[in-house]
Structure 1
Amino acid sequence: MFYRTDTNDHGMAHDPFKAIVAPRPIGWIGTKGRDGSLNLSPYSFFNIVSDKPKLVMFSSSGRKHSLRNAEETGVFTASLASRHLADRMNASSAPVDYGVNEFDLAELTAKMGEIVDAPYVAEAYTALECRLTEIIQPKGLDGEGAESYMVFGQVVGIHISEEIIRDGRIAMELARPMGRMGYRDYTDGGENVFELDRPGVKRQ
């Protein structure tokens, strides 16, 4: 099948776009408001964008609480959701009013960063402490701003649980990081983790 995205006439029950670009890692963004309130929200529009310096990005559809707090305070954290926290990650996605503490809502422990004044999920196997570098509103072909805001941050601190470290590496079969597949589907890095060596260049 083929369809044009200007008409979006795909004939399917749901728009397949987000199911095509999958799996997408979930950045569990932790922020603290100016009023001292704590916020936690999972974003599947999340990824690393640079290694030197270490930069990550999450994209907010509209001006959500995570965006507001990161913009006002200049910091945020990104905990990575693993399979054992799937239900609590989902609970933290509930659409609640500003100031409602999703850590409490999802029965999670909020731990403040070592470097940044923002909370991360203590139960998560890994977490990144980030300082805001920029926020952009990307434009479409018509030059108009999208309904999303891209929030970039430089990673200034990294937490890794000793539980998932084996032989000097993060054991993905233990970490089982969750990814969003599309629709209501998720995946994790469980039993089906496999390695591929990058090919070398054949010399003539």
Structure 2
Amino acid sequence: MAEIPAPPESWADLPFFAADWPALATRLATAPGWQPADPFRALRLTPRGQTRVVILGQDPYSTPGRATGLAFSFPPGERPRHSLHNILAELAADTGQSKADGDLTGWATQGVLLLNTVLTVPLNAANGHKGWGWEPLVAQILTALADDGPKAFILWGAPAQKLCARLPRTGHLFLTAPHPSPLSAHRGFFGSRPFSAVNRWLAARGEQPVDWSA
């Protein structure tokens, strides 16, 4: 039986944790192999009051050992591939910055919430936990952040954009582009320059820009 981590304190007052989480936690505890070990790692590394930027992913990587709990991130020291390779290529073209590997923990600790729309996945079965009950949590997180005050939302691909379609626009920055997947990156992701746009927006608000090379 898998050990399920406790909800992160800064997010624990969301209705999901009282209404939906007990049943989902029970289901996960008896489910066959899944990852990441800590589904709430993104929420732990980026507390609600420190979130400045939101990047939405889909479900975690299903390749065993690759999911880190942060959308798009690879384990430390692992060469980035697929969508993350394209994200870091756009970062270099946009800002001139590069990263040594595919670990995005340094973004998370600067207030960039790297949130997947489903927080767990069975090993080798992409989208296998879609519909299990994570979706209400993600909707509540997005609504809470929009209500808390100005945020920058980086929305890659139609699913992420649809999830945020009803959020209020006033005061926030919304950046949309095709998904960075190798199947769609050439349709407008490359050249979208989201990283410099976020930093200009933060600077205009008197906030510290994100060091995307971290």
The answer to whether the superposition gives a TM-score over 0.5 is no
TM-score (norm 2): 0.27
TM-score (norm 1): 0.28
Structure number with the higher strand fraction is 1
The structure whose Rg is larger is: 1
Structure number with the higher helix fraction is 2
